[in-house]
C-alpha cells in the first residue's frame, strides 16, 4: 500500500485531531502557545455543545460534549486536508478550535441536506438537531464517507430523473405527488429509448399506465431493442456513467425476459412493473388491459375461457398428450387408457398456468386444478371401471367432451 509520508495509517485508532496536533508540534508546524488557545476555546465549545444536546451542569454531559467536539474537529480536518497530517496541522495552526468544530458541524448539516433516499418529492427527513446529536457521537470517519457517497448518488439519481422526466414530457407534479423512485424514472426512460421502430411518440405526461407499458414490451418483443438507448438530453459525465450502468443491468436482466416467448405478457408485466414508473390504470381501462394481456392465453385456450375447456387443456398437459380444449369421446377414452398406464404429472399443468395464465386468474385456476386432480384419482385410475363408464362420466361433468353426432 503506497501512502504519502504524512498520511495516517488506516489502523490508527486515535482521533485525527490528536494525531494532527502531535505531528504539528513535533514538526514545528504548530507553535507551543497554540495549545493554550485550544484549551480555552475547547472549554467554551464544550459548554455550548453540552447546552445544545443536554445540560452543561452534568459532568457526563461535559465529557460527552468534549468527545463530540473532538469528533467534529477530526471530521473537518480529514475532509479538508485529504487525510494528510501536515495539511491538518497547518489548519490547526491557522484557525481557532471553535472554527474547526463549526466546520465539522457544517459538514454534517450539508450531509443532512442531501437526500437520504432517491425518491422524488418531499418526505420527512427528521430534525437536523437530532441528526447532529447522532452523528457527532461517531468516531469512525468511514461512516461519514460511506453515507456521503450514498447520498451523493441519491442526489445524482434524483437530478437525472428530473431531467429525463422533463424530456419525456412527464409533469413534475406527477412524480412529486406519487413519491416516485428516481431509479424507476431513469429505467423507464432507458427502456423507451431502447425501442426500435418508433412510429409515434406516446404521451407520458402522467407516466406510463399498464396498457402503455404492455405496448412498449410488445414492441420490444416484436422488433428487438437498440444497442444503445436514445435519450434526447445532454448528460454530464457522472450522469452518463449512471445511465450506462443501469442500461447494462436492463440489457442483462430485463431484455432476456422481455424477448423470451416462455413468459406471457401478463407475467412479464407482473415481474417488471416494480422496476419501472407505471401508474395505476383507471377502471375504464381495465377491460382494454385484460384484453391485451389475455391474447397469448387465448391462443392456448383457443378463445374458450370457461373452466371446463381450461381443465381439459390442463389434463392433456398433465397426461402429456396433444393439447386440446375439446376432446372427442374416442379421444377421452384414449386419454383415460394412457393415464391408467402411465399416470399424470399435475406439476406440468401447474407450471403451464404459472407461465402462461393471466396473473389475476392463476390462484383460482390452480385451486380448480387441485380439486380436479383430487377427484380424478378416484375416477380415472379406477381399474374396476373396465369399460371406462365412470371415467367418461367424470370427464363429461368436468371437462369439454364433444358429444357424438347422431
Helix (H) or strand (E) holding 209: strand 208-209
Separation CA 41–CA 198 (nearest Å): 67
Q: In this structure, how many other beta carbons lie within 10 angstroms of the beta carbon of residue 204?
A: 21
Q: What is the pLDDT of residues 325-370, one digit of tens each?
A: 899 888 898 898 888 888 889 999 998 888 888 777 888 899 999 9
Q: What is the pLDDT of residues 63-94, one digit of tens each?
A: 888 899 999 999 999 999 999 999 999 999 99
CA atoms within 13 A on the CB side of 45: 26
Separation CA 180–CA 276 (nearest Å): 10
Q: What confidence score (pLDDT) does residue 144 get?
A: 96
Q: What is the pLDDT of residues 215-232, one digit of tens each?
A: 889 889 888 898 888 888
Separation CA 307–CA 180 (nearest Å): 39
Write down the number of H helices and E strands in the chain.
Answer: 20, 2
Indicate whether 57 pLDDT > 70: no
Cβ-based neighbours of 212, under 8 Å, separated by 6 or more: 202, 204
Percent of the chain's residues with pLDDT above 70: 87
Q: What is the mean pLDDT of the chain?
A: 85
According to DSSP, the residues that pair with 225 across neighbouring strands are 195
Cβ-based neighbours of 284, under 8 Å, separated by 6 or more: none
Separation CA 209–CA 204 (nearest Å): 9
Q: What confidence score (pLDDT) does residue 45 get?
A: 81
Indicate whether 402 pLDDT > 90: no
Taking each helix axis as running N to C, give the angle between helix 85-94 and helix 34-53, from 0 to 180 degrees, rounded to the nearest 10.
80
Q: What confidence score (pLDDT) does residue 197 get?
A: 66
Q: Among all chains, which residue has been given the C-alpha cell 500500500?
A: 1
Q: Among all chains, which residue has been given the C-alpha cell 427502456?
A: 191
The terminus-to-terminus CA distance of the chain in angstroms comes to 92
Phi, psi of 84 (to 5 degrees): -105, 125
Q: What confidence score (pLDDT) does residue 261 get?
A: 77
Indicate whether 9 pLDDT > 60: no
Percent of the chain's residues with pLDDT above 90: 42
Which has more pLDDT, 201 or 302? 302
Q: What is the pLDDT of residues 97-138, one digit of tens each?
A: 999 999 999 999 999 999 999 988 777 788 999 999 999 999
Q: What is the mean pLDDT of residues 281-302?
A: 64
With beta carbons less than 8 A apart as the criterion, state whether 88 and 77 touch: yes
Separation CA 98–CA 102 (nearest Å): 6
Amino acid at each position: 500500500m503506497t501512502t504519502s509520508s504524512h498520511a495516517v495509517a488506516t489502523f490508527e485508532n486515535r482521533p485525527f485531531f490528536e494525531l494532527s496536533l502531535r505531528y504539528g508540534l513535533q514538526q514545528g508546524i504548530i507553535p507551543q502557545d497554540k495549545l493554550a488557545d485550544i484549551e480555552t476555546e475547547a472549554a467554551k465549545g464544550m459548554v455550548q455543545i453540552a447546552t445544545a444536546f443536554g445540560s452543561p451542569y452534568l459532568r457526563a454531559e461535559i465529557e460527552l460534549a468534549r468527545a463530540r467536539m473532538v469528533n467534529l474537529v477530526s471530521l473537518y480536518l480529514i475532509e479538508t486536508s485529504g487525510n494528510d497530517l501536515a495539511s491538518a496541522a497547518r489548519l490547526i495552526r491557522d484557525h481557532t478550535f471553535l472554527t474547526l468544530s463549526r466546520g465539522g458541524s457544517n459538514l454534517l448539516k450539508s450531509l443532512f441536506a442531501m437526500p437520504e433516499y432517491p425518491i422524488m418529492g418531499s418526505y420527512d427527513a427528521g430534525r437536523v438537531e437530532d441528526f447532529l446529536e447522532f452523528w457527532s457521537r461517531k468516531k469512525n470517519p468511514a461512516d461519514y464517507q460511506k453515507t456521503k457517497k450514498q447520498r451523493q448518488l441519491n442526489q445524482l439519481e434524483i437530478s437525472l430523473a428530473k431531467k429525463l422526466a422533463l424530456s419525456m414530457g412527464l409533469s413534475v407534479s406527477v412524480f412529486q405527488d406519487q413519491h416516485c423512485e428516481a431509479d424507476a424514472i431513469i429505467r423507464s426512460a432507458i427502456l423507451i429509448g431502447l425501442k426500435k421502430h418508433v412510429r409515434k411518440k406516446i404521451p407520458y405526461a402522467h407516466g406510463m399506465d399498464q396498457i402503455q407499458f404492455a405496448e412498449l414490451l410488445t414492441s420490444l418483443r416484436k422488433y428487438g431493442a437498440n444497442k444503445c438507448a436514445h435519450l434526447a438530453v445532454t448528460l454530464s459525465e457522472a450522469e452518463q456513467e449512471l445511465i450506462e450502468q443501469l442500461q447494462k443491468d436492463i440489457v442483462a436482466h430485463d431484455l432476456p425476459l422481455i424477448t423470451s416467448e416462455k413468459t406471457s405478457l401478463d407475467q412479464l408485466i407482473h415481474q417488471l412493473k416494480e422496476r419501472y414508473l407505471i401508474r395505476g390504470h383507471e377502471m375504464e381501462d381495465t377491460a382494454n388491459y385484460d384484453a391485451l394481456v389475455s391474447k397469448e392465453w387465448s391462443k392456448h385456450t383457443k378463445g374458450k375461457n370457461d373452466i371446463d375447456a381450461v381443465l381439459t387443456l390442463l389434463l392433456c398437459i398433465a397426461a402429456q398428450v396433444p393439447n386440446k380444449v375439446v376432446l372427442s369421446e374416442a379421444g377421452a377414452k384414449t386419454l383415460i387408457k394412457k393415464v391408467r398406464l402411465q399416470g399424470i404429472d399435475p406439476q406440468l399443468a401447474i407450471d403451464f398456468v404459472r407461465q402462461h395464465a393471466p396473473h389475476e386468474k392463476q390462484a383460482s385456476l390452480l385451486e380448480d386444478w387441485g380439486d380436479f386432480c383430487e377427484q380424478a384419482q378416484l375416477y380415472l385410475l379406477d381399474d374396476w371401471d373396465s369399460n371406462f363408464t365412470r371415467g367418461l362420466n367424470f370427464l363429461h361433468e368436468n371437462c369439454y367432451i364433444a358429444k357424438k353426432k347422431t
